[in-house]
Amino acid sequence: MNYFRCLGVMCLFAAFAPAPSRAQAKNKPPVPAPDYTTKYDRSPAGLLVQFQMILTNAKDSAKARLLIDELAIPKYDDYFHAVYQPDVELFWTGSYTRALMHAGADFQSLFARLGMEDGEFNIRRINDAPTSKLEQALAAKTKGPMDIYAVSWKKRNATDSSSEDLLGYYAYLSGRFRWFYMLGYPTTPGAPAKTAAKPAAPSKAPAGGAGGAAPQKPSSAPSPSSPSPQQ
């Protein structure tokens, strides 16, 4: 008799338990807060995990911004000096300086939008088969072997690659992937295709043909210790 009475009480509690409690076993475990010291694998799979982490935290503007800010290359002028041959170094450094002025806010808005869509990231290594003049220029004149990845977002109901958002180009440095080139990115579906100007020689304008002296880094750019390429 006591057994049936206890069983009835248990059923009564189960019936009035909040819906999330009853469904907890069926739902996936909650995603942990981002660990900003995480080091990602140096592979397309590691790049995908890093992007998924940003996407998972897109609704929390503070967390998302911290993760996005970590995409910037620390001391990028030193980095491009180490990566590129002297005749194109200033060109890419100048392009990076210009891109950083808006990249943080632009990518935060992007991930907030992607978080409301049903889609997936596509990752492609551009070194062996560049698909544009920009990709050819990015991979040319490096001082040594370098893996550069294009990342794009594709909605699940999209029928071809023309509807993808290109999210810029990325390289690995200090345990995570960083923006390698993001000037003018992310693109939106239907936007005109990007074409790259030929990298300028030192005597020409360093930042996409704009006149004047080589641009200085904005004060907001990260500045930890000087990195080495492909660290």
**Helices and strands in the chain, H and E counts:** 8, 4
42-55 per-residue burial string, b: 16 or more CB within 10 A, e: under 16? bebebbbebbebbb
In a domain, 91, yes or no: yes
Query: Among 83, 153, 142, 86, which Cα is nearest to 117's?
Result: 153
Residue that wins the pLDDT comparison between 135 and 207: 135
Higher-confidence residue of 96 and 13: namely 96
CA–CA separation, 164 and 68 (whole Å) = 20
Distance CA 224, CA 181 (A): 20
- What CA–CA distance (Å, rounded) separates 207 from 83? 17
Q: Give the per-residue pLDDT at 164.
A: 81
Residue 70 lies in a domain: yes
Provide the pLDDT confidence category of residue 181 given band limits of 50, 70 and 90. very high
Q: What is the model's pLDDT at position 125?
A: 96
Q: How confident is the model at residue 128 (pLDDT cuts 50, 70, 90)?
A: confident
- How far apart are the C-alpha atoms of 116 and 66, rounded to whole Å? 20
Coil, helix or strand for 16?
helix
Average pLDDT over residues 18-26: 40
Confidence of residue 192 (pLDDT cuts 50, 70, 90): low
Tell me the average pLDDT across 141-161: 87
Residue 160 counted as domain residue: yes
Query: What's the 3-state SS for 145-210?
Result: CCCCEEEEEEECCCCCHHHCEEEEEEEEECCEEEEEECCCCCCCCCCCCCCCCCCCCCCCCCECCE
Structural domains in the chain (count): 1
Asked, for residue 58, whether it belongs to a domain, the answer is yes
Instruction: Provide the domain limits for residue 99.
Output: 40-181
Q: Please determine, for residue 205, whether its predicted confidence score (pLDDT) is greater than 60.
A: no
Does residue 206 lie within any of the structural domains? Answer: no
**pLDDT value at 40 more than 50:** yes
**Mean pLDDT in the chain?**
76
The verdict on residue 63 lying in a domain is yes
pLDDT for the residue numbered 37: 66
Q: What is the pLDDT of residue 105?
A: 93
- Is 23's pLDDT higher than 60? no
**What is the C-alpha separation between 54 and 167, in angstroms, rounded?**
13
Flag whether pLDDT at 107 surpasses 60. Answer: yes
User: What span, in angstroms and rounded, lies between the C-alpha atoms of 10 and 165?
Assistant: 52
Q: Residues with Cβ < 8 Å from 49, sequence gap 6 or more? A: 40, 41
Residue 33 lies in a domain: no
- Mean per-residue pLDDT, 71-100: 96
Instruction: Write down the pTM of the prediction.
Output: 0.69
Does residue 203 fall inside a structural domain? no
